[in-house]
Structure 1
């Protein structure tokens, strides 16, 4: 005789479910950074460029500088105007800015080297006959 009730003493084996978590394509599978690390959505704004008045103020400050090394930077200011005010290509601006800074450092270093060579050495003895 068949009944719906299990026999006493007989147990059904426990049922195991194996779940595999497979991420589905879409926004739920994208790794989310914390809010303070996320980039803003939409069009990213380009960094602001100095205005002509800022560059003119820099030029007048360099001209009035007592240091000849700083005054030698006046040679590079027309290039700085060209970089920041007339060019629109960002990569070209970055390359030109790097060259400008490299040139300023080179001029400062050369002036420093030559200023030490032209100074009389202290403690040198000149023998005259």
Structure 2
């Protein structure tokens, strides 16, 4: 089992039927923890999901899809900044380490592809 496809991911998938194993594997998105929280005063209930140490709470399936989509977009933007960084160095350094840069870019473009597929999947689930 990969780091991304852990028992927390399996539990989330069982609860919310997201079916995104292919996109999660190798994406760097790690499901750290899922909590079920019950307010003892008003008996309201919600979940808290921790992905890469970022927490979001939700009480409905649509809130889950929306919150997860926001997290995917944050990681997608961070990934794009890394791509831009390596592309800049590849183009402008006097003696760039092309092999290292190309390997890094290949991994980043793979993650970018997975993030885009995740966004599409989550948007479809929100419809």
The normalised TM-score by structure 1 is 0.31
Larger radius of gyration: 1
**Structure with the higher fraction of residues in strand conformation:** 2
Structure number with higher relative contact order (C-alpha < 8 Å, ≥ 6 residues apart):
2
The normalised TM-score by structure 2 is 0.32
